[in-house]
Amino acid sequence: MRDFVYNAHPARVIFGSGTLTRLPEEIERLGLSRVLVVATPEQDADARRIKDRIGERAAGIFAGARMHTPTDVTAKAMEVVTAERIDGLVAVGGGSTTGLAKAIALRTDLPQIVAPTTYAGSEMTPILGETENGRKVTKSDPRILPEVVIYDVDLTLTLPVAMSVTSGMNAIAHAVEALYAREANPIVSMMAERAIAAIAAALPIIHDRPDDRDARSEALFGAWLCGVCLGSVGMALHHKICHTLGGTYNLPHAETHTAVLPHALAYNADAAPETMQALRRALSTEDPAGTLFDLSRTLGATMALERLGLPERAVDEVPDLILANPYWNPAALDRYALRRLVANAFSGHRPSAG
């Protein structure tokens, strides 16, 4: 076995069904008395129910979280944090809500309790992607990592099928890149392979039976592992492309990851033979990139970036944006090859075997 370094991040995880009932005791355990509940505008009613559940320790609600964590939204939330003398954060929702809580924690070091309702996985990472002036910048800091994560399978039972599919594929993307990351190690790779297998098997069941508790549990468990993978090792081309598309063109996060993943994987296939071997085992296929594309499309995901709102000019712009500030990647970054990747994802063409 080759030498490796494994960094574990401290976080308290509570996993199961009905576990959100433990939220008040977790707030008490952390010694918090003026908690801010964070949500998106669409989740305002949910946030109010959470506030009622918390009781007198809830000092307010900020239901203004937005996709890609714009810094102007964070600034508005910080005004509430200051005015209400907030000493802790509760985020119940998807990646947008978690992102805002993380952005506040980065600026204040306030403790966070996160209860995910999707399979985003970002709750398990000390990583934050913030957008300002059309540019998304990724930061890593111990203050960003939530102190407590409550995984309640019940919260995912009503997650719409379309969102379940793209959120699950987004999680798989974290694990795929963890397999070929520069800091890859046997511990993270073991989790990544298990996570990919769990989510890939669960999503077709969720598609047919959205209230299947066992499938939802497997998907949420896999998302947890994918998040650990994302937080433990670096990111590569796939995440660079998606950060560029999201920050510059405001494309939807999970849907973009879903459409790009097969193409980024095909790009790196020849340079990452061990990753491809692990994916063949996890997905029971000889063509992992094509299989992920087919699985997503069969489950109803949009596989053409054009249909997600990407302008055609981006096919030429994105490669230059990537090369201007590239992430490490197992395969060398070549502008012609990158343009072909983006063009195929733009049109929704199935990637070649790899």
Tokens of 268: 């790196």
Residue 203 confidence (pLDDT): 98
Vertex 155 angle, CA 226 and 106, to 5°: 55
Residue 169's alpha-carbon distances to 190, 253, 337, in angstroms, are: 18, 11, 24
Q: CB–CB of 241/265 below 8 Å?
A: no
| Side-chain half-sphere CA neighbours of 115 within 13 A | 26
Residue 354 confidence (pLDDT): 43
Give 10-residue mean pLDDT values along the chain (354 residues): 78 95 97 97 92 95 94 97 97 94 97 95 90 84 95 96 97 97 95 98 98 97 95 92 93 96 98 97 97 98 98 97 95 97 97 65
List, as one string, the DSSP characters of 92-144: EESHHHHHHHHHHHHHH---EEEEESSS--GGG-SEEEEEETTEEEEEE-GGG
Residue 136 confidence (pLDDT): 80
- Give the H/E segment covering residue 58: strand 58-62
Residue 144's alpha-carbon distances to 49, 70, 175, in angstroms, are: 26, 16, 20
Burial letters 198-212, b for 16+ CB under 10 A, else e: bbbbbbeebbeebeb
Strand partners, 82: none
Residue 353 confidence (pLDDT): 52
User: Which domains, and CATH codes, for the chain?
Assistant: 12-156 (3.40.50.1970), 161-347 (1.20.1090.10)
Rounded CA separation 140/129 (Å): 9
Residue 72 confidence (pLDDT): 95
Helix (H, G, I), strand (E, B) or coil at 63: coil
